Amino acid sequence: MKIVVLKFGGTSVGTVSRIKKVAKIIISYIKKKYKVIVVSSAMSGETNKLVKKSKEVSTKFISSEYDVLVSAGEQIACSLIAGALNDLGYKARSWMGWQIPIITQGDHTSSRIEEIYKKNILKYLKSGGTPIVTGFQGINFNKRVTTLGRGGSDASAIMFAKFFNAKRCIIYTDVKGVMTTDPRLFKKVRKIKTISYEEMLEMSSLGAKVMQPHSIQDARLNRIDVDVMSSFKNENGTIITKRRNIKNNKIITGISSTSNDAKLSLIGVKDKPGVAASIFKPLSKNSINVDMVVQNISANGKETDLTFTVKSEDLYKTNKLLKNNTNIKFRKLIIDKNVCKLSIIGVGMITTPGVTYRMFQALADKKINIIVISTSEIKISVLINKKNLKKAISTLHNEFKLNK
């Protein structure tokens, strides 16, 4: 059985006219003799409306009921897609996570798919039907509805591709693929034809919003090739695949950026073993993700200055935790909210010397000061002033010839 998994994002099913277009895309694969499994998100904006209602009811809305509530959007979209296919003469029906069932584990609002029972879906496929499956949801071992967190419909599609051994997994969205950088910040972007799991994982975790990091990690762990395509334009998109499948002479594949960062600097911290752990332990316990970290030891070896970044929405809580932390002593706390993180990503830098120099020199030539630096095997990230973001992206896009 030649199976393809098609996932449609919220904008792709955002209106009735778009749902009718989605039905025609599905039919095009049926005509190519594929057995099609469709995974759908909620119509764009619907989940946010449901979240708003939960907040109006209670500021402490219980997580198990929250999952029941926010998963309703996918049910509506799937029913409408099935209805559109039925109207065009094709056998289709909607499937909720609990009807299949899709078994998950983990906490409510952030569960992961453990198993998908295949029997009923396979039977329906063999009968000539097209199952339209709700993304983003499943049930746990207590038979309660669970959701997979932001980007969960992508994760649902990837896991369906795994369990059903699909020939293709295609993510339909409102963009024509993965771009070299954010087109809202730089006009001369180029579509990336193929990108490795590792590069895509770095780009998404560093700001690219095409797919969520945990969905890409699922694809990488299960070796599922993923096509990212536009539901609005009939053209090839971007293939996310293994490194060995990529024939690419580019050193840098893309540029990502985030603007919701805040920098905190603890000046004159009494330096002793375990001081860094003492600083970051309360942050970890409060689910605050610490990103870039730089530590400078004073000449006398008795004090250290420690700088790190957090997301802007965590700044108030972080500031409060640091000031209330009796396990550390420091002279001053400096906060800077006018920063952003800029990253270049590419597996080519593993074997190419001089990439760091080229990046730093290109920024220096444009009088862009680097505040903090962090690196990994395939990325270099710098913290700069927000006012320089667009100029920095343009500079590096040109420096590494990403528009060619």
Q: Please give the model's pTM, rounded to 2 decimal places.
A: 0.86
Q: Mark which of 125, 154, 174 sits at the end of a domain.
A: 174
pLDDT, residue 299, reads 63
Q: Measuring CA to CA, which residue among 261, 369, 370 is closest to residue 309? A: 261
Whether the CB-CB separation of 228 and 173 falls below 8 Å is answered with yes
pLDDT in tens, 11-47: 999 999 999 999 999 999 999 999 999 999 999 999 9
Per-residue model confidence as pLDDT tens digits over 352-398: 899 999 999 999 999 999 999 999 889 999 999 999 999 999 999 99
- pLDDT category at 248 given cuts 50, 70, 90 is low
Strands (E), 19-175: 35-40, 92-95, 102-105, 112-116, 130-134, 137-139, 145-147, 168-173
Q: What is the pLDDT of residues 287-310, one digit of tens each?
A: 899 999 998 876 666 788 999 999
For residue 394, give the CATH number of its domain.
3.30.2130.10
- d(CA 324, CA 333) in angstroms, rounded, equals 12
CA distances from 239 to 106, 200, 205, 348 (A): 30, 10, 18, 18
Whether residue 264 sits in one domain with residue 168: no
pLDDT tens across 254-278, in order? Answer: 999 999 999 999 999 887 888 889 9
Q: Pick from 174, 191, 226: which residue ends a domain?
A: 174
Range of the structural domain that residue 31 is part of:
3-174
- Residue 232 included in any domain: no
Same domain, 34 and 154: yes
Q: Is residue 309 part of a domain?
A: yes
Question: How many independent structural domains does the chain possess?
Answer: 2
258 to 25, 184, 230, 251, 370: CA distances (angstroms): 34, 13, 24, 22, 15
Tell me whether residue 26 is in a domain. yes
Would 216 be classed as within a structural domain?
Answer: no
Q: Which of 121, 154, 174 is the last residue of a domain?
A: 174
Tell me, what CATH number does 18's domain have?
Answer: 3.40.1160.10
CB atoms within 10 A of CB 231: 22
Q: Is residue 387 part of a domain?
A: yes
Residue 404 CA to residue 342 CA, distance in Å, equals 21
In a domain, residue 235? The reply is: no
